[in-house]
Amino acid sequence: MIQNFSRLGDQTRAVHAGEFPDPVTGASSPNLVMSTTFAVGADTTFSAEGLGGDDPFIYTRWGNPTIRQLEEKLAVLEEAETAVAFASGMSAATALLLHTLKAGDQAVLSDVTYAAVAEAANELFPGLGIGIVKVDTSDTEALAAAVNPGVKLVYIETPCNPLLRLTDIRAAADIAHRAGARLAVDSTFATPIATRPLELGADFVVHSLTKYIGGHGDALGGVLLGRNEDLAPLRKKTSIRLGGTLSPFNAWLIMRGLATLPLRMKAHEQSALKTARWLETNPGVTKVIYPGLPSYPQHDLAKRQMKNFSGMISFQTADGKETARRLAEKLRIIHYAVSLGHHRSLVFYLHSEELLATSFKFTSQKQLDSWKAFAGDGIFRLSVGLEDADDIIADLEQALKGEKNGKTKN
Ligand SMILES: *Cc1c(COP(=O)(O)O)cnc(C)c1O
């Protein structure tokens, strides 16, 4: 069994971290332990309040051997002291917000985030007396102006869903810490293969395991990573009580997917770059946003902050709604569906008017202008899967055929 992963590569870590041959049977593959309860001694605590770090397993909402193996694998890959797994990415995000913020507290959030996070900030948290200010965190000056000394938490998403706009993590960490706040980074689009936010000064990392980390579109999950001193109390005081526990079966599936993450990310990046370059040459496509393209507005920051440009592309056409209808009807390989990071390619149209009205609800013209500069009336979010890039491109080509020539029209 490997004790120290610090000098080993990502792929070795992904395969072996958190795993060991079963001491009873010698099984090489991790056990799936579905038991919700564990036979214990008479001196066992009945409240999670009395739970110590080294206590045996008692009840699966408090801890489970299969979930713990996944948490260890994730912590090793992210180079975090510890990890707490959740039933979904949203469950991880809300547990972090509810643990760190109390009535009267202030937080600063990226104005473009995963839609459900934006909606929770609009509707759930104000009702609890928690003030959440949204700013375009890609604008370091705007972020610095928003993070006043009363702010407890800065929560960013980079690259953000669905714009693929980046926030400079190191700058955000400096701004947060100078004001006495903590920095949380939703790194779902980047994965630990592209970016390690903790190394850049972040205090917490959030991932939806449902996306690249699980990688196969068959299990919801989420995780928080960071320091022991932060996450041990978060587990005991908040996560166990909120109860968004990951199913051990999902933990087992996600662990199996995670074992090939570094290899998959290389393939996602390679095919996404090829597809993005092809989209740039397609006359029906008016704009392509991919951090790996030289035309990408934050390409220098992307090169500095991302070791892998990931597999997400956003693009626009002249008439997005019409193109969406055509893609949903004509695509054969790519699924017209939400979600991302799977081995299957997925595409979905995000109409600006609808998204701004339901999820983002910008309060300033500047935020709206920044959105429009990236997304216009709407964008297609394309998650480039693991099919052959030439087949993905051919599928897009046949479905986009007859597309109005946006470039001459504009
Ligand atoms: C999907 C996603 C989430 C939410 O994750 P779930 O597992 O669906 O709850 C959060 N952040 C980002 C960036 C996502 O893409």
Task: Write down all domains in the chain, each with its CATH number in brackets.
Answer: 10-258 (3.40.640.10), 262-400 (3.90.1150.10)
Structure tokens at 197: 């936010």
Tell me what pLDDT residue 1 has: 81
Q: What type of residue sits at position 115?
A: A
Whether residue 55 contacts residue 45, with contact meaning beta carbons closer than 8 Å, is answered with yes
Three-state DSSP class for 389? helix
Best residue for ligand 1 mutational test, from 114, 242, 310, 339 (most atoms within 8 Å of Cβ): 114
Average pLDDT, the chain: 95
Tell me what pLDDT residue 36 has: 98
pLDDT score of 197 more than 50: yes
pLDDT, tens only, 51-108: 777 789 999 999 999 999 999 999 999 999 999 999 999 999 999 999 999 999 999 9
What kind and span of H or E run contains 293?
Answer: none
The confidence band for 48, taking pLDDT boundaries of 50, 70 and 90, is confident
pLDDT score of 409 more than 60: no
Ligand 1 atom 12: residue of nearest CA: 114
117 to each of 98, 109, 160, 367, how far by Cα in Å? 13, 9, 12, 17
| Average confidence (pLDDT) over 337-349 | 98
Q: What are phi and psi of 160, to 5 degrees?
A: -85, 150
Q: What are phi and psi of 247, to 5 degrees?
A: -70, 135
pLDDT score of 410 more than 60: no
Strand extents, DSSP E, 96-211: 106-110, 131-135, 151-157, 182-186, 204-208
What is the CA(95)–ligand 1 centre distance, in A? 14
Stronger pLDDT, 43 or 26, i.e. the higher one: 26
| Average confidence (pLDDT) over 280-294 | 97
Tell me what pLDDT residue 3 has: 85
Q: Closest Cα partner for 223 from 202, 238, 243, 245?
A: 245
Whether residue 106 contacts residue 154, with contact meaning beta carbons closer than 8 Å, is answered with no
Ligand 1: residues within 6 Å at CB?
Answer: 88-90, 114, 157, 161, 186, 188-189, 208, 210-211, 220, 222
Closest atom of ligand 1 to 157 CA is 13
pLDDT score of 284 more than 80: yes
pTM for the model stands at: 0.96
Tell me what pLDDT residue 406 has: 58
Burial degree of 339 (CB within 10 A; 0-12, 13-18, 19+)? middle
pLDDT score of 366 more than 50: yes
Bin 405: left if φ > 0, else alpha if -120 < ψ < 50, else beta: beta
- Euclidean distance between CA atoms 147 and 213, whole angstroms: 31
| Average confidence (pLDDT) over 126-134 | 96
| Average confidence (pLDDT) over 357-368 | 84
| Size of the chain, expressed as the number of residues it contains | 410
| Average confidence (pLDDT) over 4-21 | 96
**Residue for token digits 């299990």?**
219
pLDDT score of 217 more than 80: yes
| Average confidence (pLDDT) over 152-161 | 97
Burial degree of 258 (CB within 10 A; 0-12, 13-18, 19+)? buried
